[in-house]
Amino acid sequence: MTALRERLDETSDIEIARYLFEEIAAQTRDVEGVSRPAFSSIETATLQFLESFARKEGLAVWYDAGLNARFSLPHDKDAERYVLVGSHVDSVPFGGNFDGLAGIVAGLVCLLRAHRAGERFARPVHVLAMRGEESAWFGPCYIGSKALTGTLAEGELKATHKGDGRSLDDHMADTGLPMDRIRSAVPLMDLSQVEAYIELHIEQGPLLVGKGIPAAVVSGIRGNFRHRHVRCIGEAGHSGAVPRAFRRDPVFAMADLLGRLDESWSTILNMGDDLVLTSGMVGTDPAQHAMSRIPDEITFSLDVRSQSPKTLNDMRRLLHAEMQQVEKERRIRFELDEEMSVEPALCAPHLVEGLKAAMERVGQEPFVMPSGGGHDAAVFAAAGVPSGMVFVRNANGSHNPQEAMELDDFIAATDIVHEFLKRHE
């Protein structure tokens, strides 16, 4: 028996989780935080580390057609129907270590509990460690789960990597994925075999921290529409020589547009509707910009999210109307790239109730909340797979190195998933 196996056999769930989180953080550490790029050798190495760990622990391990790692109890590998517990292994650049990874580690802890105790779940369970959820690398989000469900669009495959400029299609092909099937929108798995999809994930906002609650059941997931590159084109000029009335300044036009959208955001919230709006990438051309130069162009991103399809459609119409008004008043021109969008997703009511009941059975007061961030669960729900989620309290937000999930909270959330899997029929 290896020293690792001896150590893990004698330690608690929390120490197993600590080991996995710390080892993967060390292997994927960047200048700041961690970086696990989608469809990269680093992502593959992380999956291989999880594979090696699981095999040593006596679990069944294999890779699906999307080259995602799968794990199960040995006797459940070939089950015709199963509950899928999963999340993603990639991260944003210079990100936190728990986003995505927490859901995979939770699934493995559940399998190891059952394996060591010689127990079986109510239904067979497969744990899924997915590639390519984060949009930070290519623009499109949920790439791995969309490939599995046959919903990755042609335009998304043409999206280019933020670093090397090569297409998503090229990167996926280099990783070894079956691109003919993906380009033809053929699902890479038999969705009819999946009874339910369950995803544990860190909360990416402040609600659980503010309420002093370690975990929550999720009711639904915000949908979104996004533009990675919005161009605002004006006219260059000397900063000291061109009066305001003669300017066609794209920077001020962009600021004007975002200000108008912000005012509408406030109005929509005051009406009791759900909405968040972000412009996370803004820039002028570094080869041309200068303190004394009016730029001729600026590019920026736009990310609009809501739980309401109506609110998303209203914001689409508002965006185009406000763009036309700013174009007229400031004599500039906006150009939108192809929209990327995901519809809002409701978690399956019977899974919400089942997870709430599990939460109560393990001694926690049931608490249900919506998800502001997007998750692979939304893709499975849209594909007709009943989906549910559990959140873990996490300080300092997400998509940054300061993610601060306490392991006690992680185990509290994992307890909910484990109890659900023991009883779910």
Q: What's the whole-model pTM score?
A: 0.82
The pLDDT of residue 37: 97
99 in a labelled binding site = yes
Nearest to 42 by CA among 51, 61, 29, 56: 29
**pLDDT given for residue 2 in this prediction:** 42
User: Is there a binding annotation on residue 238?
Assistant: no
Determine whether the annotation assigns residue 134 to a binding site. Answer: yes
Which residue carries 């307890």 as its tokens?
415
Q: Which pLDDT does position 96 carry in this prediction?
A: 96
pLDDT of residue 8: 53
CATH of 223-342, one of 1.20.1630.10, 3.30.70.360, 3.30.470.10, 3.40.50.620: 3.30.70.360
Residues of the chain with CATH 3.30.70.360: 223-342
Per-residue pLDDT of the chain (425 residues; tens, 9 = 90+): 344 444 455 569 999 999 999 999 999 999 999 999 999 999 999 999 999 999 999 999 999 999 999 999 999 999 999 999 999 999 999 999 999 999 999 999 999 999 999 999 999 999 999 999 999 999 899 999 999 999 999 999 999 999 999 999 999 999 999 999 999 999 999 999 999 999 999 998 899 999 999 999 999 988 889 999 999 999 999 999 999 999 999 999 999 999 999 999 999 999 999 999 999 999 999 999 999 999 999 999 999 999 899 999 999 999 999 999 999 999 999 999 999 888 898 999 999 999 999 999 999 999 999 888 889 999 999 999 999 999 999 998 888 999 999 999 999 999 999 999 999 87
pLDDT computed for residue 340 by the predictor = 87
Residues of the chain with CATH 3.40.630.10: 1-221+344-421
CATH dotted code for 1-221+344-421: 3.40.630.10
